[in-house]
Structure 1
């Protein structure tokens, strides 16, 4: 139940031509405490509840537990979530024996596109597609739980 992932900004929309799957996601947070976040997600027609622990020092790994629930249950739980619902389109891209998940954020976070890759170990090598930009692994402002409270559209106003 350990999740190991790296996150990157995306430099172009070229990933869309390589995507083999596209899914709409709506999610909210029942708890955004940095020690443990509890997320409710509707992904396509499926519902999920996920608990994530605090990331390690490198920001590469953390505990993750996820359970599938019905879409109706997820819709009900979204009403209990803290303010700040995340909406995004997820693209899945197979590239050099790995799968990249690219999230194109909508609504309050429009303009932000982040790619994630899950790995088997923190040191696992992988090839980077040309559209992969700067790494933001461990930078908490790119966590969905943070984006729900401080949306991307407000960042230009930050010093």
Structure 2
């Protein structure tokens, strides 16, 4: 069983853009957005992915994750049958110490929201916090991409 351990933060400035070593365009939709088994279809450039995530633990930092690369044409077909609320975003990869933050800048109905995630090997692992990192929102479900698809940022 694959366990994903990550913490999520709001971003308080766009300084991360100057520090980013890579920028990716991501389109994703959800075949299922129920917390017990979120099933995501994602296109990153010319790659497709199918991901299944389980419900988070009490802290919200750990949960089951399974991901498989699929042909991009199949991902495009699956996006057509996803639940309403496709997510459109750019992801910036930013090194911070030995870790890499994934900073997502959202568009469309989630425009104005920018969050950063960091994957860790344990919930207790320490990491370097960049100056642009804001309040922690780990475990706050309204910041999950699946929740943003159903209740976008513009509605908050």
Query: What is the TM-score with the length of structure 1 in the denominator?
Result: 0.97
Residue deviations 1:76-125 (CA, integer Å, cap 9, x gap): 00001000000000000011110000000001100000000000000000
Q: Are 2:70 and 1:72 equivalent residues in the alignment? A: no
Residue aligning to 2:110: 109
Residue aligning to 1:84: 85
Equivalenced residues, count: 155
Residue aligning to 1:41: 42
Q: Structure 1, unaligned stretches of length 5 or more?
A: none
Residue aligning to 1:123: 124
Residue deviations 1:120-151 (CA, integer Å, cap 9, x gap): 00000001000000000000000000000000
Residue aligning to 1:153: 154
RMSD: 0.4
Q: What does 1:3-82 align with in structure 2 at a 5 Å threshold?
A: 3-82=4-83
Q: Secondary structure at the match of 2:33?
A: strand
* Whole-angstrom CA distance in 1 between matches of 2:97 and 2:34: 36
> 1:45: how far off?
1.0
* Whole-angstrom CA distance in 1 between matches of 2:119 and 2:64: 13
Runs of 4 or more off by more than 2 Å in structure 1?
none
* Whole-angstrom CA distance in 2 between matches of 1:17 and 1:65: 32
Residue deviations 1:9-56 (CA, integer Å, cap 9, x gap): 000000000000000000000001111100000011100000000000
